[in-house]
Structure 1
Amino acid sequence: MTSLNLERVIEAMFAIWHELPELLNERWESFETDLFEFLKTNAANKTNDQVAQEILEKFGKYEQALALLDSKYQELSPKNYEAGSVSAEYEIIPVYFATPRHYDSSKSLDQQFTEVRGDGSLNYGVAEVSIPPDRRMGSINQPPFWRSEDIDRDMTIYSLTKLSQSEFSAQANKAFSGGQQREGMVFVHGYNVTFKTALLRTGQLAYDLAFKGLPLLFSWTSTGHFMGYSADEENVRWSQQLRHFESFLEFCFNELKLDTIHLVAHSMGNRILTQTLTQIINVQTKGKLGQVVFAAPDVDAGTFKHLAASFPSNAARYTLYTSKHDLAVRLSEFLHGSYPRAGKFKDENDVVIVNPVETLDASNRRNDFVGHSYFSDNKSIVSDIFHLFKNNLSPDDRFGLKGRTLQCGKMWIFSKL
């Protein structure tokens, strides 16, 4: 590697992570600890180039690991790209959102809701997300650095409009035709997610799940930076204290008059979801919860089990996707004194199994991005969520899952691809 790009170095590192324990054997633990200590204590004070170089040097202590990293990095580098335009028909998915992010109208369309907190109130709006054809399920096509965004190839923010709460309500209600079931799906993103990426991910999920109701996004104030973990934690706590998500759900039930709301949270966003589920149990509403999905939750395992006992009883199903190979959740575990997280387990003795949640082992659904986005980047997981939404099937009746009874209860394991 000569000129290093931090984003590609990190992506390459994530892609090979599951191979390193076997490759390094007894050296694995010291390597992992050394790397995580650097990311925890020193990386935030360095430039991207310095961080990339430091990661490379740590891999350089182990010849085979460095060769593997270099090989994956080269795969991710631009090769054999042929310029040219694609004539195609794209689709538009409207995404209705609420966010406590600061609003800055002077910025470009997809950056107007920034990475810093607003005044504590929620901003509302609607964005149109464009979906290009020939897109791989689960992906949020974005252009490589050497070309500009192209609506025929990439997912884009086609339009974005900031609305008052009353305008939001009026416009969202118009989206339902007469007699249509008033259904909503709320997505809560995780750590290191910009507002633009959160919008694209919500549009992607709505499109891939063929969701006919209202796609909704709650975007808390993530900094959108790999090194911003601590700041993201503080912003999650701030949003929880102000009960932003609880207020938004109550608004969706009572003002939008939704009959059913499905909830999907990823990574650190599950902290907001799990806490809020224990708070809305007494909310007076005619609506009900549909599918509640905890994807790769960056939540303390003990806390998750404790909160689950207070989850509302009127949800269709609670589903937890966890994995043995989740680097991002492993890093979180390291940062929190090695206390286990609900989104990762080492063996059957520490997997989170608790009523009323159905636990699915997604370890066999690794992909090139740590396994941490397996819920959205892998066709089989998206397909599983699709059947959840469409048919409310139990794990025993869904394709590709095999039940296994452990001492602490039953879990379901995805078959290998």
Structure 2
Amino acid sequence: MRRVAAALLCLALAACGRPEGVLAPIGGAAPGASLVDMLVATTRKPAADPGILFTGERKPDVSLTNIVVSVPPDAARRVGEVQWPQQLPPNPATDFAAVSVTPLSGEAAAQTWLRKALPPQKRVLVFVHGFNVRFEDAVFSLAQIVHDSGAQAAPVLFTWPSRGNLFQYVYDRESTNASRDELETLLWRIVDDRDVREVTVMAHSMGSWLVMESLRQMAIRRGRVPPKIQSVILAAPDLDVDVFTAQWLKIGKPRPRLSVFSSREDRALQVSRRLAGDVQRLGLVDPTVEPYRTQLENEGVEMIDLTDLSRPGSLNHSKFAENPEIVQLLGKRLIAGQSFGPAPSLGERVGTFAMGVGQTVGGVAGVAVTAPLAIVDPESRRTLDDQVGHLGGVAGDALTSAPDVVKLQ
């Protein structure tokens, strides 16, 4: 616990070193920079400072804003990181910066933005952040995820009133409770738009509770989650496993595809588990052991275990977005409505995961041995024997015997 507290303190001090008011629009981007055009829906109170926009206090209704974020040229940044300005105004050549901030009045304005922002796939990505997140944190985090993942989706941020304070856990949790109806309403408006074909909902940490509760309400209200919501992604979910089970069952069938990123080295969730009476959090689950292994398979939940990607001195709470290879796979597979598991062949799937995460090697057998992920995907489990058979020879032996192989139990 002392190590966890020290890590949390370092994170807090790092955040305190940033200038305030980073969202004041700069009006233009640097050559080679990329623009992420997003719709932001929030239940936060407006701030007097136009560079802050919204505070961590609560408001009973939703405010809509169109924000365009400039992401520095690739040569000036590392994939998986947000380059925060060290002084104001931000330098778009090296920093994330707001290019424009446009308040939207009424549903018609939001609908107009959505129809212009939809890619050819007609997909929308709705992102819900977690605990201890200020408004600007949420905005820049989604911009980083969308840019680095290459997600082909219109990005929508739902940001609830978090005070951005490590010691306001209970306040933040109650803020998610207060925002359930507003998130549900936003989701209904998106799926009811005739131009939208499919929706992916992604949540991080405490935002997972909010997403699951809103989906549960939708299912209770109309008998099921609307079919346009095809995929749900929970990253490091700060969610009691018993509560999650009750929510998932209440959602009923047919359900969206559900993918969960977990890590047993997630220090933030370890603290949360202590605060919650030592009840296991979904994001800490080892999907290869019982009773979770059988329960997850029976419920069709895909677990992606990132434990082996842990970094010393890190909270290991945002690995899904910080690891360059994982965030890119996130856009290519999960946000696109596919599984991390199924692929034309097991060799291709394992090779894709390992490349760049482990060491780069030439053969399927070597790639398999160095892959640092464990995936429990019911569909992959059923087809594992056939796929391994096609690999043959040394590659097949490596896949079935290596202790660090991508595990498809």
- Pair in the same fold by TM > 0.5: yes
Cα displacement (A) at 1:122:
0.7
Residue number among 110, 115, 124 corresponding to 1:173 in the alignment: 115
Distance 1:348 1:203, change over 3 A: same
Q: Following the alignment from structure 2 to structure 1, what is the Cα–Cα distance between the partners of residues 82 and 323?
A: 12
Whether 1:322 aligns to 2:322 is: no
Normalization by structure 1: what TM-score?
0.71
Distance 1:174 1:414, change over 3 A: farther
SS in 2 for 1:279: helix
Deviates more, 1:204-213 or 1:276-285: 276-285
Q: Map residues 234-273 of structure 1 onto 2, 5 A cutoff.
A: 234-240=174-180, 243-255=181-193, 257-273=195-211
Structure 1 gaps of 5+ residues are 1-7, 15-47, 53-72, 77-85
- The AA in structure 1 aligned to 2:322 is D
Q: Following the alignment from structure 1 to structure 2, what is the Cα–Cα distance between the partners of residues 322 and 285?
A: 24
Q: Following the alignment from structure 2 to structure 1, what is the Cα–Cα distance between the partners of residues 307 and 292?
A: 12
Look up the match of 1:31.
none
SS in 1 for 2:179: helix
Look up the match of 1:137.
79
Residue number among 348, 362, 365 corresponding to 2:306 in the alignment: 362
Distance 1:326 1:276, change over 3 A: same
Look up the match of 1:117.
58
Residue number among 224, 230, 233 corresponding to 1:290 in the alignment: 230
Give the root-mean-square deviation of aligned CA atoms: 3.3
Q: Following the alignment from structure 1 to structure 2, what is the Cα–Cα distance between the partners of residues 287 and 350?
A: 30
Residue number among 118, 128, 133 corresponding to 1:193 in the alignment: 133
Aligned length: 331
- The AA in structure 1 aligned to 2:209 is R
Q: Following the alignment from structure 2 to structure 1, what is the Cα–Cα distance between the partners of residues 374 and 53?
A: 45
Structure 2 gaps of 5+ residues are 18-28, 344-348, 354-372, 385-403
Q: Map residues 65-214 of structure 1 onto 2, 5 A cutoff.
A: 88-104=31-47, 106-109=48-51, 111-118=52-59, 120-134=60-74, 135-144=77-86, 149-165=90-106, 166-176=108-118, 180-214=120-154
- The AA in structure 2 aligned to 1:128 is V
Q: Following the alignment from structure 1 to structure 2, what is the Cα–Cα distance between the partners of residues 98 and 143?
A: 24
Q: Following the alignment from structure 1 to structure 2, what is the Cα–Cα distance between the partners of residues 127 and 315?
A: 32
CA contact under 8 A between 2:302 and 2:376: conserved in structure 1?
no
SS in 2 for 1:310: helix
Look up the match of 2:400.
none
Look up the match of 1:18.
none
Q: Following the alignment from structure 1 to structure 2, what is the Cα–Cα distance between the partners of residues 141 and 365?
A: 22
CA contact under 8 A between 1:141 and 1:155: conserved in structure 2?
yes
Q: Following the alignment from structure 1 to structure 2, what is the Cα–Cα distance between the partners of residues 274 and 234?
A: 15
Normalization by structure 2: what TM-score?
0.72
Q: Following the alignment from structure 1 to structure 2, what is the Cα–Cα distance between the partners of residues 11 and 143?
A: 22
SS in 1 for 2:304: strand
Cα displacement (A) at 1:10:
3.5
Cα displacement (A) at 1:350:
6.2
Look up the match of 1:5.
none
